Chain A
């Protein structure tokens, strides 16, 4: 017992003495031999983790969760961000042909647009297509997305052929002959479609759908049908191998998929939209202008109708239909307004919403109606009527041309409700006829009363004017002669000249007026002067 105790004390003394040295040695060794220690520790770590998982799985999960959980979370977040970015880009290109097509598809298929958008976002994109000569691994034709070119396509083709060869050899040893169909790497894969002498390899980013396989297969089928012999006989000389049609086939496949990658590109039809918008705008502008014109005409027509001028009548357009609103005292005004509006060019239909209201008891409204009626009458017939209105009596003053005109005025006034007592002091006075001043001079030769041909045109013009004038007027023709010579002879020839002109006007030109021929008081020249008097 004592011995044991003594040994324990010795051990503790030794530990206490060597501890600093041992720690120092470990530290120094660690600093100098980190690589060596790492190599020695590496296998132990794997075994230790496996052991720990076997014994305390939950603890390991908890310990690693912050690392692995974050990593998965970041990966998922990144994937969703990429998808959202893609969806956002597609939404932003809302005017693209594809977007319009998507909207139509959505309606036709009864699927939400978002669902179609999501489907598009996960669509596969063919980055490049290589037609490879199967035996030699030579690239016969390549079509690639210029934004993501393939580096060293020949190497890729050869390696694929090598893998294909290896697989063939290996599978042959297992008594089964099958071709390699696909090589997957990261988020992409190489889809291999095999024919007798050629292989079509499509490098696809993202998921590959049945439609993608189908299209690749169809393209290879077309290529083989059209170029089978050329491919089979390919001897290594690329200059004699025509790949124009092949390129056309594979690039078509590439470009149709590329649309999805480069969805930013707008379809040419998109540019029609601004043109259509301009046309629409012009049509709208024209339509609006036309409707405004119609509206203006309807309001003018109502305002210029004396019987309607004084009432609060408004017009507006509702779906190309003119609607009349306001208040009138009787059905007469209501119908009149309807008739006036209906007659206007361009008005297709009229809705008469005028309300018949009793104005009888309102002297202001009555006077207002009288005022507008008289004003309208004056404007229409160029008269100068005036009035005095002391409820309920109306006194009229002024001059009118005829009794008929007066009666018309009185009739219209009587239609104004509330106007009961009309006293008129209107004079009927026919307007004085206006006699135009005519002073036409017809010249003659010496000692002649014969009308010269040069004067005929002048007389015909005069006759034409006289025919348009009142037949009650009188045409006076005064003959003259030169003041030289005998007065008797001069007067004789002057009268002859007047009568000669008178005969022409009466008999040849057939003017309706009475013709009076005479000689002039003073003789100055060889002529006859024609004038007009009442």
Chain B
């Protein structure tokens, strides 16, 4: 049995909590409640017990408490596909993740793809931000699209690294 920690990183309101809730409880709520501090969830997979750290999103006035990232075996960097600023912030988050855990795999989740939007992004550019990025994918916590994929792919990579 493997036991490890994954941290959800991203700006405020990008849907980190919703992704976790969809993955853990298979539920979704339209109501937005800003996370304060950290919320931890446990998900038991076939060979692993994953502790999901859903930390408070970064805002202009408040940075992320970096200590929450200590000891993480993997990261899910989340951006809101409808908010360009959050996509631009991905690089900063990835930098932080690599600083805290230089070898931890990273999945970039471009969330809220259930909402029609005109914003464009360069997927290759995001993929090239770090060699640790194993996946850049559009997700929807609301519809559940690709939610399991991001967590399961990250789990496989982490287990492979631990082995």
Contacts and interface: CB of A to CB of B under 8 A. Distances in A.
Whether chains A and B associate is yes
Interface of A: 133-139, 152, 154-155, 158-159, 161-162, 164-166, 168-170, 235-239
Contact of B40 (A135, A162, A168, A235): A162
Given A158-B53, A162-B40, A162-B53, A168 B3 contact: no
Contacts of A164: 67
B38 interface: yes
B110 to A, nearest CB: 27
A162 B38 contact: yes
B72 interface: yes
Contacts of A135: 70-71
A430 to B, nearest CB: 114
Contact of B163 (A134, A159, A237): A237
B40 A159 contact: yes
Contacts of A158: 5, 40, 42, 51, 53
Interface string B29-63: 00000000110101000000101010000000000
B115 interface: no
Contact of A137 (B2, B65, B66, B71): B71
Contact of B71 (A136, A152, A238, A239): A136
B4 A138 contact: yes
Interface string B60-82: 00000111101111000000000
Given A236-B73, A239-B1, 13 more contacts: A136-B70, A137-B51, A138-B3, A154-B42, A162-B37, A166-B37, A166-B38, A169-B65, A236-B3, A236-B158, A236-B162, A237-B162, A237-B163
B53 A152 contact: no
A430 B82 CA distance: 149
A518 to B, nearest CB: 124
By secondary structure, the B interface counts as mixed
Interface centre among B42, B68, B71, B158 (most CB of A within 10 A): B71
Contacts of B66: 169
A135 B67 CA distance: 9
A236 B66 CA distance: 21
Chain A binding surface SS class: helix
Nearest to B51: A158
Contact of B73 (A136, A155, A168, A170): A136
A310 B72 CA distance: 108
A154 B2 CA distance: 13
A235 B67 CA distance: 18
Contacts of B71: 133-137, 161
B59 to A, nearest CB: 16
Contacts of A237: 2, 162-163
A170 B37 CA distance: 12
A136 B2 contact: no
A162 B5 contact: no
Contacts of A165: 65, 67-68, 70
27 contacts: A135-B70, A136-B4, A136-B70, A137-B5, A137-B51, A138-B3, A138-B5, A152-B42, A154-B3, A154-B49, A155-B42, A158-B5, A158-B40, A158-B42, A158-B51, A158-B53, A162-B37, A162-B40, A165-B65, A165-B67, A165-B68, A166-B67, A166-B68, A236-B3, A236-B4, A237-B163, A238-B3
A136 B5 contact: yes
Contacts of B42: 152, 154-155, 158
B162 A235 contact: yes
A154 B49 CA distance: 9
B99 to A, nearest CB: 14
Contacts of A136: 3-5, 51, 70-73
A166 B3 contact: no
A136 B49 CA distance: 12
Contact of A155 (B40, B67, B158): B40
B52 to A, nearest CB: 9
A154 B44 CA distance: 11
A239 B159 CA distance: 13
Nearest to B40: A158
B2 A236 contact: yes
A532 B40 CA distance: 126
Contacts of A239: 1
A136 B5 CA distance: 6
Nearest to A135: B71
Nearest to A139: B3
A166 B66 CA distance: 9
A236 B73 CA distance: 8
A135 B104 CA distance: 14
Nearest to B44: A154
A339 B58 CA distance: 112
Interface in B1-18: 1-5
